[in-house]
Amino acid sequence: MGIPEYVENYLQETKKIAETVPQEEIVKAVEILQTVKKNEGRLFILGVGGSAANASHAVNDFRKIGGIETYAPTDNVSELTARTNDEGWDTTFTEWLKTSKLSDKDCVMVFSVGGGSENTSQNIVKALKLAKERKSGIISIVSRNGGYSKEVSDACVLVPVVSEDRITPHAEGWQGVIWHLIVNALTR
C-alpha cells in the first residue's frame, strides 16, 4: 500500500470510529463530571505511555476550561519515579491517590489502550480497585475489549477496533477527541 492509499485508509477508519463510538457513554461521562464539579470533587486522570501524555494535556483542559480541580500522577516525574523505585510500578497510582485522599466526591478517569488486565497496566487496575473501595466515580476511554477498566467503570467509552494494525494510534488519538468533547460539553 502506497502513502496516498494508507492516508485514505486511515481516515476511512477514523470516520468509521466516529460513526460507531458509543455516544451514550460520553453523555454518562459528562453527567458524572457535572456532579463532581457541583460537589467540588476532584478529577484524577491516569494513563501510561502515550496515554500519560494525553492525561497531562487533559488536566489542563479540565482545569482551565471545565473548571474542575484535576491532576495526573504522571505529571510529577520525581514522585512517580521515586515510588516506582521504592515501592514498585504496580502501586504508583494507588499510593499517589491515597496521599491525595481520594474520596466519594472524586472521579478517576483512565486513558488506556487495553484498560488493564492481570498481565498489563497493574498500576491502573490497582488504582481502579481503590477507586471502587472509596466509591469514587470511574470513567474510562479505552479500546480493545476495555479490560478491567470497562468492567468497573461508571462510564466507559470503548473506541471501536477498526484495524488490528492501528489499535494504539486510534485509541490514543480518540482519547483526545473524546476528552475535548467532554470538556466542552461541561461548558454548556
What pTM was computed for the model? 0.97
Count CB atoms within 10 A of the CB of residue 80: 19
Domains present along the chain, CATH in parentheses: 3-186 (3.40.50.10490)
Model pLDDT for residues 1-25, shown as the tens digit of each residue: 899 999 999 999 999 999 999 999 9
Asked if the model's pLDDT at residue 72 lies above 90, the reply is yes
Q: Is 49 left (phi over 0), alpha (psi -120 to 50) or beta?
A: left
Mean pLDDT, residues 39-62: 98
Is the pLDDT assigned to residue 188 strictly greater than 90? Answer: no
Average pLDDT, stretch 99-116? 98
